[in-house]
Structure 1
Amino acid sequence: MLRNLLFAGFFLISSSVLAQFSIKGKVTDAETGDPIPFANVILRGTTVGITTDFEGNYFLQSKTLTDSLDVSYLGYIKQSKALSKSADQTINFQLRSALFDLETFVFTAGENPAFEIIRRAVERRKDFDKRTLSAYETRSYTKIEIDIDNLSEDFRQRRSVKKVTAVLDSIKQLTDDEGEKILPVFFSETVSKFYYRNNPELKKEVIEKSKVTGVGITDGSTTSQITGSVFQEYNFYKNWLSILNKDFISPIADGWRTSYDYDLLDSVLVGRDTCYKLQVYPQREQDLAFSGTIWIQKDNYALRQVDLTIPKAANLNFVDRIKIQQELVASSAGPLIPSKTRVLIKISQLSDNTAGVLAKFYTAIDSILVNEPKDTKFFNQAVELKPDFGLVGADFWEKNRPDPLSVEELAVLQMVDTLKNIPIIRFYSEGLKFFATGYKAMGKIDVGPWPEFFNYNNVEGVRLGMGFRTNYKFSKKWELKGYLARGFRDEEWKYASSITRILDRNHWTSLQAYSSREIDQVGLEISNLQGNSIFLAASRFGTLRSPYFSTNHGLNIQREFFKGFLVKGGVNLGQFDPLFDFYYLDKNTREFKSNFSTTEIRAGIRYGRDEIIIINDNERASLGSVKWPIFEINYTQGINGFGGDLDYQKLSLYVYHRINLGRFGVGRYELDAGKIFGEVPYPILKNHLGNETLFYTTAAFNTMNFTEFTSDKYLSIRYRQSFEGFLLNSIPLIKKLKWRFVGNANVLWGSVENYNVAIVPMVDPEGNPRKTFGQLDFGTPYFELGYGVENIFKFFRVDFFHRMTYLDNPGAKPFHVKVSAQFIL
């Protein structure tokens, strides 16, 4: 009996000594609902604590309890919650962001101890940069959510919005702690395989499964190509990271010392590894640089975790916040692969009467395989959809999600599905698509393009038109396209029509037959201005310059043989019928003629080594190149026969390149060179594009007059530089305005052979003097310099141009001011 009592007493004492109190929970951002990883969770008054994992979860055990639990993280307001005496309890925290004062750090004499850590981390970048692997592949899960937030009362009271708010108010989870509503408009989940190969550097993503739901989304195939992990890749071992088409310097870049300051906060455990915890912040708050926290492993100086934001003071427009959180793991070969990445981008309201946008991106990877490169031909298509990419049930997503969808995310899905069926939402979403694409979908037919609906100029008077094209619902192998228009002054019909057969979507191969009759302008041809739709539309209003009827019938074929390498060819039968005073001397009949016919055989190649191409329904769409220039070479053979009047050859080279110049911003150059062989009238030659309008355009020489110069041999280099915040970010008063300096330098060499000059009469048939084309002296280039400021009131740009040569030409002005409006971040 006594022994049993002693045993029971010993058991009770031992239990009380060994008793463990367990506390778990989740720490999230009160504004966005996103997890806050790496937050500090500490029992008040003790040193017992832990940090949250990447999903914001924590699990804390202690032999004793205090009265409360404290949670803190840099950039957020510290929060405390009371504890009960329960052995197991769950306590969740919602932290609110706080302004971070960059001037609170004070350094004593001597070198900042954080500098040596960063210096060693930079020295070992090549050891851990995944780009040093010969190849790697991963399986990825990507989740994207886009919401409308900052729903002001004025916005909510609009008649069109009121029809939505009743539904919005019924879903409790779509609020933050202060009851502010968010309006979800898009949600996607994607499972994919990502492949990388070095030497040559190639990337490919295969979308295995995708689920896309969103307002205005009718077909998920195009959207699914840009919701995978390839577009959510952030590598801090690069010197510069591209976000929203802006380049931000990495905290461990080669130029770290000129861009950042650091503070060594602590030495902490991350998993089983001891890491230095460092605070980073830009030296100039307007620079495109990060502030936040990074964790660098103590034994090898590898980057283990990042939690970084773009300060609100950075020289960006409409961006309230950009936040990147990333966790990295070592591959079997050593270099690090991001295992989890979360990105938040918050776009502010354009005005008090509008709403903002909140975009969330999450990527988790597993099944990492390294140094087993695929053949180069495997990378021919940058993004590939498996045939059954969208055919999957709910069970698949439950098994393949790294974590279940939260209550808030389930509410988002419910809301998006509801919104899609509200008539006013469909009206606005379809209207926005109509404005952006030019076409309105009506079943299997798209009606448009809207710029053809109405026009007015001195030749046609009022012009009305209508067109259509078939879409993927009609066929994924055939596309029919056309429009018909008529001017009320000239009473002439204009039209364009084409039929395209898509033979192969993997190695993009298509065959197209077309026919058109339209009014064109010498030097302002529609075919040459397709990429400058605003300038093209403006040039077709008002007074037309050197107008003519252009009739064309032809056949085109193209095929992409390997990634980035596209070959094209075709035949064109054309007719030139001038509507202005034009004559040329026919070399066969030695008589003056005003019109002519052409028969052309065309061939060309285009190569963009790392150009990103997606398939948008039945068309290819380029998202630009990442690093390398894009080349295009074209050759045309004009035949005197088979309906053609002229014998000539055209050879041209075009190069475009975007260059990241680090702190100096971004440069872009275009090289255009060519030669026309043969005796031809000047509309066949290169009529260089000028700009007599008040508005700035990158498509033209901005101090040159319309049709001022013509060449049959030419070379032009147009360079423009966006300095971002360089220079102006350092000027005390100007930096608050967030103005950005820009520059231009355009040079053109050209000439015309004497035999092409001789066939243009200096007088008309009645002996009156005639205006002919202008010529360049190849030894004296046309040269213009420009400089200016963009981002004035966030929208406007002013450029000042100086014309440096050919100042004696009639109508030439040495100084021009051009203005433009643009929507840029």
Structure 2
Amino acid sequence: MKSIFLFLISFFCFLTISFAQLSIIGKVTDSETGDPIPFASVILKGSTLGTTTDFEGNYVLNSTTKADSIQVSYLGYVSQTKKIPTTPSPVINFQLIPSTFNLSEFVFESGENPAFAIIRKAVASKEKFDKRNLTAYESDNYTKIELDLDEVEGAFKERNQVKKVIAVMDSIKQLTNDEGKKILPMFFSETYSKFYFRTDPILKKEIIENSRLTGVGITDGTTVSQITGSAFQEYNFYRNWLTIVEKEFVSPITDGWKTFYDYDLMDSLMVGEDYCYMLKVYPLREQDLAFTGTIWIKKENYALKQIDLTIPKSANLNFIERIKIQQELVETEAGPLLPSKTRVLIKISKITENTVGLLAKFYNSQENFKINNPLPTSFYFQSIELKEDFDQGTEEFWQKVRPEPLSDQEIVSRQMVDTLSRIPIIRFYSEGIKFLGTGFLPVGKVDFGPWTGLFNYNDIEGLRLGGGLRTNLKFSNKYVFTGYLAYGFADQQVKYFISGTKILDRKRWTTIQINTQKEIDQVGLEIENLQLNSIFLAASRFGTLNKPYYSKYFRLITQREVFRGLNFTAGFTRKEFDPLFEFNYFNENTGVYQNRFDLAQINIGVRYGKDEIQIINDNYRVSLGPVKWPVFDFRFTQGLNNLGGDINYQKYTLSVYQKLNLGLIGVSRYELKSGFVRGTVPYPLLENHIGNETIFYTTVAFNLMNFNEFASDRFASLSYRHSFEGFGLNQIPLIKKLKWRAVANANVLWGSVSDKNLSNSSDLDGSGNPIPAFGRLDASTPYIELGYGIENIFKFFRVDAFHRITYLDNPGANSFGVKISAQIIL
């Protein structure tokens, strides 16, 4: 009986304690995007008991205090309170509505802001905690990306085709933002990879082990999988400047922090096992490319603990309404910090009321860190690589590697994307957009295009019609065949291009190609030199052509990436030059004048970009550009007076390109180019400096130089462009609202030509008399043009004014000119 009595007493006490202790769990999310809100404050109303949400927005609150409601608050969101149900272990979720943060809420007293002392110590300890001080690290990474059409409302929603799509979506489940506006998911991916970083030299490598993705218009996962990994989701706030959407943003703990930011000490609290200072940060000038939000700094050593920062709509950016970055950092045994979880949201606003916006959501988790064990430099040869047995993985695999299960909204989003990609009208529009963007329309194993070659009109060909095709990855991953046919109704000539390529090695990108072509080209405006500037190339090939000639050639080319960043090309070219204008050239070998010539050439090229990122796009390799270091490009041509060639000569060219991030004052880009020609050659083989007689601004030409105004056999040039990214104009009230940005240009050319090459070739006038074919640069007087202008006019347009400083006495020279261009920039 005594034992039973003690048991009953114990059981009664247990029940009393159980009923007295309240355990509440839940999740806090952004009502607009559905994303978790980490670090939010959760408290019981009328008490001091509370907690914060973890990185996934989850919270657990245990209390013996009697309370009837629970409140969640976080800076940048409207606080929300909910009643606590009487059920045991209630689950209470919150969806917070974003709000505008009002800086006037804070009033600073006289004396130094107490937050400054904390920031000063955090900046002083930067070197200790910067991950770049590790000799190396590696990790297992999980990356998740979702792209949604946002605010599918208004006139856009009422379009017949959109109604059909929404009807299909409503049969699954509606997704809406906080205002009840529909969201249509368009892309969803999960990627699991191994990431490697080495400091000396700085090298990165990511091996994509598995990637599962679905998206509207996505036909092949191997290409997209290379850019959905973690290599493009790296944010290190211990750097002074962070590159986000191709813009440079200043870190809240930059060395010159007091120049860019103000701070407020909001609280001191426990975050996990660490006691932290909670600081509000915001830019001194609202249009600066800077952050606003909250950072947590550990009291023990002034290391960053976690980050929740936003780039507001007021920043001088186009189309972007908000960028939000949340990050959680962990300390390694060596001291430096590594990000364990990062979440990024980019909200792109509607261009007009009749269009839609875009939500881009990125999540990256890193775990199983291994530090200070650098692998051989040869291991980092290819910066992004697909594992040999790469596949999409099973559902069991993804459940195992996900840090957190997919939310209900993410599951619905993935289902919607899969359904959308099968709707005929969606496939029609997505393929149409790809056709406009790439120029090619995929149909089975071939791609038809490019559309830019379908139609043209000029004084030689009259109306020109054409079309072409190329094989794709479905045809083969080793062989690529491409070609086109075109016909000019005025010259009644067929033009063509036929090419066959074999990919010998996809890892050390090695190819061999044979091609042949017959085409109309222009002296100084060759297609080969203008392919990267399609608008200027198209403008220069309409209307009256400049010194046109028929070019017929056969070419053999091979290339190989020798080691990371170093690419070698070699080849042989047999070319015929048949001018369509009166041309005169003295052939030293035959001792007679002739109006055409043939070339046999050996071509060698070396390109080196230390940190240039390359990805494989189906059967083509694409450069995503350098990160920091310059790119060097060397070209050598040896002309032969045998094997069908008429001219023995050598041509050497070296160019250097670099992008310079100059912080507060913007971004500069420069290109240095130098070269010389050895031997006596007709002037089409000299360096015919590219002029620009169109109204369009271009970076590949001297914008106030006329076509064929100068040619050189020795030359050096500098092209310098600077964008101030709003610097300066941000201080002018009216322009500040317009978000105009100042730009500056400088183009300088030194050159000379030998007497032999000057007199060797010429054009002929109507009577057959020789006339100079080009102007001669004085080696002591460079050609100089300086420009300035405004970009971001109505978000799309740019206007540049140029002043020509030298050679103003040349026939047709203009001392001043205005050029326009259209561009899509953030």
TM-score tier, shorter chain, comes to over 0.9
| Residue 294 (1) aligns with residue 295 (2) | yes
Identity %: 62
What does residue 50 of structure 2 align with?
A: 49
The one-letter code sitting in structure 2 at the alignment partner of 1:197 is R
The answer to whether the 8 Å contact 2:461/2:488 transfers is yes
What does residue 98 of structure 1 align with?
A: 99
Distance 2:88 2:418 in 1: 42
Distance 1:6 1:603, change over 3 A: closer
Q: CA offsets, 1:281-332, max 9 Å, x none?
A: 0000000000000001111110110000001100001111100000000112
3-state SS of 1:148 partner? strand
What does residue 202 of structure 1 align with?
A: 203
Distance 1:738 1:765, change over 3 A: closer
3-state SS of 2:658 partner? strand
What does residue range 311-460 of structure 1 map to in structure 2 within 5 Å? 311-460=312-461
In structure 2, runs of 5+ residues without a counterpart are: none
What does residue 597 of structure 1 align with?
A: 598
| Residue 560 (1) aligns with residue 561 (2) | yes
What does residue 694 of structure 1 align with?
A: 695
The answer to whether the 8 Å contact 1:173/1:408 transfers is no
Q: CA offsets, 1:198-256, max 9 Å, x none?
A: 11100000000110110111100000000000011111111111111111111011121
What does residue range 496-645 of structure 1 map to in structure 2 within 5 Å? 496-645=497-646
Distance 2:665 2:79 in 1: 39
Q: CA offsets, 1:258-301, max 9 Å, x none?
A: 00000011111111010110000000000000000000111111
3-state SS of 2:165 partner? helix
Distance 1:424 1:767, change over 3 A: closer
3-state SS of 2:389 partner? coil
What does residue 481 of structure 1 align with?
A: 482
What does residue 269 of structure 1 align with?
A: 270
TM-score by length of 2: 0.98
What does residue 673 of structure 2 align with?
A: 672
Distance 1:235 1:9, change over 3 A: same
Distance 1:521 1:12, change over 3 A: same
Distance 1:118 1:90 in 2: 38
Q: CA offsets, 1:757-812, max 9 Å, x none?
A: 12135765956463421111111000011111111111111111111110111111
Deviation at 1:732, TM superposition (A): 2.4
The answer to whether the 8 Å contact 1:279/1:291 transfers is yes
The answer to whether the 8 Å contact 2:153/2:181 transfers is no
3-state SS of 1:233 partner? coil
The answer to whether the 8 Å contact 2:584/2:764 transfers is no
3-state SS of 2:800 partner? strand
What does residue 753 of structure 1 align with?
A: 754
Deviation at 1:20, TM superposition (A): 1.2
Deviation at 1:67, TM superposition (A): 1.7
After superposing the two structures, state which structure 1 stretch, 9-18 or 92-101, moved more.
9-18
Distance 1:766 1:78 in 2: 87
The answer to whether the 8 Å contact 1:187/1:413 transfers is yes
The one-letter code sitting in structure 1 at the alignment partner of 2:260 is S
Q: CA offsets, 1:364-403, max 9 Å, x none?
A: 1111000111111111111000122225211111111111
Distance 1:816 1:395, change over 3 A: same
Distance 2:327 2:495 in 1: 56
3-state SS of 1:88 partner? coil
Distance 1:17 1:154 in 2: 59
Deviation at 1:104, TM superposition (A): 2.7
Distance 1:17 1:486 in 2: 90
Distance 2:8 2:763 in 1: 121
After superposing the two structures, state which structure 1 stretch, 52-61 or 175-184, moved more.
175-184
Deviation at 1:11, TM superposition (A): 6.9
Deviation at 1:3, TM superposition (A): 11
| Residue 654 (1) aligns with residue 668 (2) | no
Distance 1:761 1:446, change over 3 A: closer
The answer to whether the 8 Å contact 2:798/2:821 transfers is yes
3-state SS of 1:472 partner? coil
The one-letter code sitting in structure 1 at the alignment partner of 2:660 is I
The one-letter code sitting in structure 2 at the alignment partner of 1:558 is Q
The one-letter code sitting in structure 2 at the alignment partner of 1:59 is V
The answer to whether the 8 Å contact 1:456/1:541 transfers is yes
The answer to whether the 8 Å contact 1:21/1:86 transfers is no
What does residue 303 of structure 1 align with?
A: 304
Distance 2:184 2:569 in 1: 46
Distance 1:3 1:260 in 2: 69
What does residue 278 of structure 1 align with?
A: 279
Distance 2:453 2:7 in 1: 95
Q: Tell me how many residue pairs correspond in the alignment.
A: 825
The one-letter code sitting in structure 2 at the alignment partner of 1:69 is I
The one-letter code sitting in structure 1 at the alignment partner of 2:655 is Y
TM-score by length of 1: 0.98
What does residue 221 of structure 1 align with?
A: 222
Deviation at 1:509, TM superposition (A): 0.5
What does residue 798 of structure 1 align with?
A: 799
The answer to whether the 8 Å contact 1:133/1:370 transfers is yes
Distance 2:603 2:5 in 1: 103
| Residue 685 (1) aligns with residue 686 (2) | yes
Q: CA offsets, 1:730-755, max 9 Å, x none?
A: 22222111111110011000111111
3-state SS of 1:386 partner? strand
The one-letter code sitting in structure 2 at the alignment partner of 1:565 is L
What does residue 77 of structure 1 align with?
A: 78
The answer to whether the 8 Å contact 1:20/1:87 transfers is no
3-state SS of 2:733 partner? coil
What does residue 109 of structure 2 align with?
A: 108
Distance 1:303 1:429 in 2: 43
Distance 1:340 1:508 in 2: 34
The answer to whether the 8 Å contact 1:654/1:673 transfers is yes
Deviation at 1:45, TM superposition (A): 1.2
| Residue 89 (1) aligns with residue 90 (2) | yes
Deviation at 1:10, TM superposition (A): 8.4
The one-letter code sitting in structure 2 at the alignment partner of 1:797 is R
Q: CA offsets, 1:480-521, max 9 Å, x none?
A: 011111100000011111110100011110000110110000
3-state SS of 2:62 partner? strand
3-state SS of 1:387 partner? strand
The one-letter code sitting in structure 1 at the alignment partner of 2:236 is N
Distance 1:240 1:714 in 2: 37
Deviation at 1:65, TM superposition (A): 2.5
CA RMSD of aligned residues (A): 1.6
What does residue 723 of structure 2 align with?
A: 722
The one-letter code sitting in structure 2 at the alignment partner of 1:616 is N
Distance 2:265 2:314 in 1: 23
3-state SS of 2:231 partner? helix
What does residue 238 of structure 2 align with?
A: 237
Distance 1:757 1:267, change over 3 A: same
Distance 1:13 1:472, change over 3 A: closer
Distance 2:760 2:473 in 1: 50
Q: CA offsets, 1:319-353, max 9 Å, x none?
A: 11100000000112111110000000000111111
In structure 1, runs of 5+ residues without a counterpart are: none
What does residue 736 of structure 1 align with?
A: 737
